Amino acid sequence: MTFENLKEEVKVIVSDANTSVDKKLTSICELLQTNVAYYDWVGFYFKNGDKPELKLRSFAGEPTDHTIIPFGKGICGQVAVSNSNFVVPDVKAQDNYIACSIFVKAEIVIPLFVNGENIGQIDIDSHTADPFTKEDEEFLEFVNKEVALLLEQGS
Residue range of the domain that includes 32: 3-153
Longest alpha-carbon distance in the chain: 44
By C-alpha distance, which of 65, 26, 46 is closest to 111? Answer: 46
pLDDT tens, 93-111?
877 677 667 789 999 999 9
pTM: 0.95
Q: How far apart are the first and last CA of the chain?
A: 27
- Compute mean pLDDT per 10 residues along the chain, 155 residues long, and list them: 96 95 97 98 97 97 93 94 96 75 91 96 97 98 97 75
- pLDDT in the model for residue 95: 73
DSSP letters spanning 73-133: SHHHHHHHHH-S-EEES-GGG-TT---S-TT--EEEEEEEEETTEEEEEEEEEESSSS---
Number of folded domains in the chain?
1
> How far apart (Å, rounded) are the C-alpha atoms in residues 97 and 34?
25
Q: How far apart are the C-alpha atoms of 9 and 128, rounded to whole Å?
A: 24
CATH number at residue 138: 3.30.450.40
